[in-house]
C-alpha cells in the first residue's frame, strides 16, 4: 500500500454522505482501518461510508464501497449517484450513460447534465428479490416474507423482507418520526433471522407518497438510503398501498423511485461538498498508512 498523501472528496446524496477516493490503478486498497478513520465524525472527515473508484472491465468503473464501521457492502444507491457525478465532473468520462460495477452486479447510470454539472442521476437498480434464500433470511429458501407481523422492542409491525442487492426489512409504522429508530434499528440489524445482518426501513404512506427513516447495516441511522427507498417502494407496492412510481421522503431529502417491468429505477441528486488532502502523519496516527 502506498503511503503518499491521500486526496479525498466529500459528497452526499440526500444527506447520505460519503468520502470518495480515486484509485483508478488499484494502488491503494480500501481497508477497514482506513474506512473507519475517514468516517469518524470527530477525529476524521465524517461519513456514512467510503467509496473507492477503480477501473472496471474495459473503460468502465467499479464502486468499492464500505460502511462506516469498515464492513464491506454490496451496493449503495445514493453512493453510486455520487460516483457518477464525480467521474463525469472530474473528466474521467464524457459519457452521460455508463455502467458501473458493484458487488451486486453492474448498474446503469443516466446522468442529467446542465452546463457541465450533474444535476441528478437515475440508476437502474435491478430487480427486487423476495425469497428468503436470496435476501438472505432464515427459513425455507423459496418462501417469501411479505406483510408478516414482526416484533421488536415490545412493538409489532407489519413487515416485508426485500433484497435490492443487499438485505432490507421494511417495517410499516403509523409515524416513523415517533419510532425509536436507533434502538429498534440496531436490534433488527442483528436479528438472528438475518445471518448477514439487514438494513431496516420504518415507512408510512401519506397522500400517495411515502415517508421513511432508515437504519443502515454497518452505519446506523442515516439521512437517506437509496436501496432502502427502493425496498420501501417495492414492499408498499406489493401490498397495494402505492402505485409503481412514488416519491420517498427521508430526513435528508426526496428520492424518486419507479418499479418498471420488475426493474427498479432510482433518481435523485448528488452534491459535491469539498476536496481535501490528508497527510501521511494523520494516516499513520490512525493506523491507515
Q: Which residues are designated catalytic?
A: 76, 225
CA-based nearest residue to 265, from 127, 107, 124, 108: 124
C-alpha cell belonging to residue 79: 453512493
Burial of 247 (0-12, 13-18, 19+ CB in 10 A): middle
Amino acid at each position: 500500500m502506498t503511503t503518499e498523501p491521500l486526496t479525498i472528496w466529500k459528497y452526499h446524496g440526500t444527506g447520505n454522505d460519503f468520502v470518495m477516493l480515486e484509485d483508478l490503478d488499484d494502488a491503494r486498497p480500501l481497508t477497514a482501518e482506513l474506512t473507519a478513520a475517514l468516517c469518524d465524525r470527530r477525529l476524521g472527515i465524517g461519513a456514512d461510508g467510503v467509496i473507492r473508484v477503480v477501473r472496471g472491465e474495459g473503460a468502465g468503473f467499479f464502486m468499492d464501497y464500505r460502511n462506516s464501521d469498515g464492513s464491506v457492502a454490496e451496493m449503495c444507491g445514493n453512493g453510486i449517484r455520487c460516483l457518477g457525478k464525480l467521474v463525469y465532473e472530474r473528466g474521467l468520462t464524457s459519457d452521460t450513460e455508463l455502467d458501473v460495477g458493484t458487488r451486486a452486479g453492474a448498474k446503469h447510470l443516466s446522468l442529467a447534465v446542465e452546463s457541465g454539472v450533474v444535476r441528478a442521476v437515475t440508476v437502474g437498480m435491478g430487480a427486487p428479490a423476495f425469497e428468503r434464500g436470496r435476501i438472505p433470511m432464515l427459513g425455507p429458501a423459496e418462501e417469501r416474507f411479505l406483510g408478516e407481523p414482526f416484533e421488536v422492542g415490545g412493538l409489532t409491525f407489519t413487515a416485508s423482507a426485500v433484497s435490492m442487492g443487499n438485505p432490507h426489512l421494511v417495517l410499516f409504522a403509523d409515524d416513523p418520526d415517533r419510532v425509536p429508530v436507533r434502538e429498534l434499528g440496531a436490534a433488527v440489524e442483528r436479528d438472528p433471522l438475518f445471518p448477514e445482518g439487514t438494513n431496516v426501513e420504518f415507512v408510512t404512506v401519506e397522500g400517495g407518497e411515502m415517508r421513511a427513516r432508515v437504519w443502515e447495516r454497518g452505519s446506523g441511522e442515516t439521512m437517506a438510503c437509496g436501496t432502502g427507498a427502493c425496498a420501501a417502494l417495492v414492499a408498499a407496492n406489493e401490498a397495494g398501498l402505492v402505485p409503481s412510481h412514488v416519491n420517498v421522503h427521508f430526513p435528508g431529502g426526496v428520492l424518486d423511485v419507479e418499479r418498471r417491468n420488475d426493474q427498479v429505477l432510482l433518481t435523485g441528486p448528488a452534491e459535491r461538498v469539498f476536496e481535501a488532502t490528508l497527510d501521511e502523519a494523520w494516516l499513520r496516527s490512525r493506523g491507515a498508512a
